[in-house]
Amino acid sequence: MPTITFQNPRGRGSAALSVVVEPGTTILDAAEHCDARVGHACGGNLACSTCHVWIHEGDDLSEPEDKEYDILDKAFDVRPESRLGCQAKVGTSDLVIEITEESLKSWLDENPDIRKREAG
Ligand code: FES
């Protein structure tokens, strides 16, 4: 089974986290399995772009559909390695992923109690 590594699971400078998941798992679900902070303002319904991540190593992922590209157009700092975490399903190979600033901020917006605790 593939190992998914999040380089910055709790923001810049945080220690990497890895999780082993079943093939077919979305990146968003993999993040939730290991408490990596991938935002998901629309609940994984392909409507927000807050689950935007960059795939740095590995390319064994489900092919993006046109609607994923449409939603990615709303995201900041879109790169060739960009994917939406709620749509990209892992295959059988390991991946190394960086969570975008946009996604990390969204996650904190979705968890105001944690943001408040970490700020104070
Ligand atoms: S969680 Fe909204 S598009 Fe992925």
Query: How close is the Cα of 68 to the center of ligand 1, in Å?
Result: 9
Distance of alpha carbon 40 from alpha carbon 84, whole angstroms: 10
Q: Kindly report the number of other CB atoms within 10 A of residue 56's CB atom.
A: 12
Q: What's the CA-to-centroid distance between 38 and ligand 1, angstroms?
A: 10
pLDDT value of residue 120: 77
Distance 48 CA to ligand 1 centre (A): 5
pLDDT at 77: 96
Which CA distances in Å does 56 have to 12, 40, 60, 80, 94?
A: 15, 20, 12, 10, 11
pLDDT for res 119:
85
| Cα separation, 19 vs 30, whole angstroms | 7
48 CB under 6 A from ligand 1? yes
| pLDDT tens per residue across all 120 residues of the chain | 999 999 999 999 999 999 999 999 999 999 999 999 999 999 999 999 999 999 999 999 999 999 999 999 999 999 999 999 999 999 999 999 999 999 999 999 999 999 999 887
Residue type present at position 6: F
**How high is the pLDDT of residue 96?**
98
Q: With 0.75 as the threshold, say if the pTM is over it.
A: yes
User: What pLDDT, on the 0 to 100 scale, is given for residue 23?
Assistant: 98
Question: Domains (ranges, CATH) in the chain?
Answer: 3-119 (3.10.20.30)
